[in-house]
Structure 1
């Protein structure tokens, strides 16, 4: 999933470092930055980003940056952006938790902390998903309807490919990977079957969350089906399949996410 973000920090050098780190993740889209409470509030209300990187212990006290900014947002917004605190002090963490921030990252920023934060964001969005049905009609070509269920129901995500009254249902757990084919997408299933949907790969990237991860301009993979990742050759191997899928440098951060998520499970490295 993609997240637009704003950086609010009184130290411009720190702003640039945060942006440089965030820019290495394809999920994060920079909107703007601010160096003070008032400017930051105005930017948030104007652009309504999904994510804010916030310094709460500024070196310049005149900037007035603090957790109180979150309180102010509740006066104007029904939906508060996710807040990731970026600061050098550990002792403010407990107070930040009381404000329900999404994450607390200590400076100097480390890449693995960003990886973990993105995983938390993706997990939160998956856990809080409600039943959504989307159907699209375009020149009588087959269309895709997507049904999302909350995690608590333990029901799988079902994709319905509709064409001239025909409803083809696909359990998302059976999808190994998706491959772009001009303005259509080939959906490859674990039994070897391939189904074509007349939607772009970008469309599927927007509606599918982890374990579906974009790793190339032409590929989205289901991380559950990856059996091997060769970073030297920049390829992923699919379970019980001879298929090798390339990944590009621009999506290397997504490969890091997959590796991190796998290692967070019941995992033993030998």
Structure 2
């Protein structure tokens, strides 16, 4: 069965090159293209393709193309298309991993790397699961590179493997959750992000509530946490609360409250953050989901 795709790239020549390679694959069906953020979002919402080729480091900065386009899609679509990044730099590869993209291809795109990306895409589609849930020992991004990959392994907690014969660098995401360090006067407190239920504002500090009932105070504002936490896992729902999306058990839009798993805790959400609550609903519905 043919899978539809859209190309979003500020460079029209690159759009044509990507389309030319994609035309070699009979299972891909071209729908359209866009050259900027707004047109790209509207095009995806209109056609709802299975696959999007996305440029995230555009030469024309006025196009506003970036990974934030993926977040925008979660606000409106119950099932977000699979994303393959096509760009000129490897610098954003780690950031792309957080968005669970199918693959990360460096321009000029090599047809063999393109083929591998499409095979990953086919596997994700056939599994009927989000790409992050495909049963795979590791999630890999294969990236053409003519230079030595440096210093990403320690800082970004990813493993770099170099294949000198094929002149490729393979970025392998470790199956490791985000560790948050709360530091105070030489005391380093490490918290697994999966253990966090929610963040609560307390004047100029923030209380971090854990699933074991413990509360840890960090001397940073809730606004600070909103800017540094990964939005795929944490979203602000109120002036006083940031919630772990994976810990939500119930959302009552009439009473404007979110319930926390395995507890009696319920957090209010405000109208100003209603879009984030809708995003949580769409993300849950986009997973392994049955509505009755």
TM-score range, shorter chain: 0.5 to 0.7
Pair 1:200-2:221 in alignment = yes
Render the CA deviation track for 1:4-26: whole Å, top value 9, x for unaligned.
xxxxxxxxxxxxxxxxxxxxxxx
1:112 offset after TM fit, Å? 2.2
1:199 offset after TM fit, Å? 0.4
Structure 1 CA distance for aligned equivalents of residues 208 and 240 of structure 2: 12
Pair 1:254-2:198 in alignment = no
1:126 offset after TM fit, Å? 3.9
Q: Which residue of 2 aligns with 1:161?
A: 182
Structure 1 CA distance for aligned equivalents of residues 241 and 79 of structure 2: 21
Q: Aligned runs of 1:228-247 on 2, under 5 Å?
A: 228-247=250-269
Structure 2 CA distance for partners of 1:132 and 1:230, relative to 1, 3 Å:
farther
Q: Contact 1:70/1:99 (CA < 8 Å) preserved in 2? A: no
1:206 offset after TM fit, Å? 0.9
1:161 offset after TM fit, Å? 1.1
Structure 1 CA distance for aligned equivalents of residues 217 and 54 of structure 2: 48
Structure 2 CA distance for aligned equivalents of residues 98 and 164 of structure 1: 44
How many residue pairs get matched? 181
Structure 1 CA distance for aligned equivalents of residues 154 and 76 of structure 2: 32
Q: Which residue of 2 aligns with 1:6?
A: none
Q: Which residue of 2 aligns with 1:265?
A: 287
Render the CA deviation track for 1:137-177: whole Å, top value 9, x for unaligned.
xxxxxxxxxx7668810111111111121111111110000
Structure 1 CA distance for aligned equivalents of residues 54 and 227 of structure 2: 32
- Gap runs ≥5 in structure 2: 1-7, 16-34, 57-64, 86-94, 102-151, 160-171
Pairwise CA RMSD of aligned residues? 4.7
1:188 to 166, 191, 209: 209
Structure 2 CA distance for partners of 1:70 and 1:114, relative to 1, 3 Å:
farther
Structure 1 CA distance for aligned equivalents of residues 270 and 84 of structure 2: 24
Alignment TM-score, normalising by the size of structure 2 = 0.49
Q: Which residue of 2 aligns with 1:112?
A: 76
Q: Contact 1:149/1:157 (CA < 8 Å) preserved in 2? A: no
1:98 offset after TM fit, Å? 8.6
Q: Contact 1:148/1:158 (CA < 8 Å) preserved in 2? A: no
Render the CA deviation track for 1:40-82: whole Å, top value 9, x for unaligned.
xxxxxxxxxxxxxx9x9xxxxxxxxx863978xxxxxxxx986
Alignment TM-score, normalising by the size of structure 1 = 0.53
Q: Aligned runs of 1:138-153 on 2, under 5 Å?
A: 152-153=173-174
